[in-house]
Structure 1
Amino acid sequence: MHEVNDRSRDIGEFVPAPDDDMLICRCEEITKGEIRKAVHEGMWTMTEIRRYLRTGMGLCQGQTCAKLVKGIVARELGVSPATLEPATSRAPMRPTEMRILGNEAEDNKSS
């Protein structure tokens, strides 16, 4: 078993596979090939993959793709998926205009 964070080891070159066009993260439209290539470019943790490709950051927040992404990363690294720490989960954020917040405060006063 290899240590996940041992970045001195060589995982080999990226070799395209016939199923690399398979969509893994539907929300962000990320393919298996993009994930595999990211691993070979140095993204070895789930958090790095998430920040680099945005897997698991869409509407479903990784509910449909997290296990698939983890399995792909583990396979490329030659480790068990259990050795990979999950990416940090955060609530989805959306920009809010200040006028909306201002209107909300005025609505509360008139109630």
Structure 2
Amino acid sequence: MAKVNVICRCEEIEIDEIREWIARGYDTFDELKRELRVGMGPCQGRGCRDIILREISKATGKPVSEIAPGTMRPPVKPIKLSLLAEDCE
């Protein structure tokens, strides 16, 4: 049985699939996000972003510091809707 290395647990995306898309030319986090939905689950990329950025770095030869970490939209952490509704009262 083949070993499975799931990198984005929220969307169940494996490292091999991420590497395949990077090899196709999708070498930014936002491009991979649009194609694979990495970073769009409940953790908002906190579990997979760093690993994916390192994979992009390896494939492109750019340092991780030069790779855009991707667009993050609020709320960055999941919050209860009731907390937002309290501000409207």
Where in structure 2 are the equivalents of 1:45-56 lying within 5 Å? 45-56=28-39
Where in structure 2 are the equivalents of 1:8-47 lying within 5 Å? 21-47=4-30
Where in structure 2 are the equivalents of 1:24-103 lying within 5 Å? 24-91=7-74
Segments of structure 2 that go 5 or more residues without pairing to the other structure are 76-89
Segments of structure 1 that go 5 or more residues without pairing to the other structure are 1-17, 93-111
- Scaled by the length of structure 2, the TM-score of the pair is 0.75
Runs of 4+, deviation exceeding 2 Å? none
> Cα offset for 1:76?
1.3
> Cα offset for 1:91?
3.9
RMSD of aligned alpha carbons: 1.7
Q: Which has the larger radius of gyration?
A: 1
* Distance in 2, Cα, partners of 1:68 & 1:84: 12
Q: What is the percent sequence identity of the aligned residues?
A: 38
* Distance in 1, Cα, partners of 2:19 & 2:61: 12
- Scaled by the length of structure 1, the TM-score of the pair is 0.61
Deviations 1:15-74 (A, max 9, x none): xxx97x311000000111111100111101111011111111001101111101111111
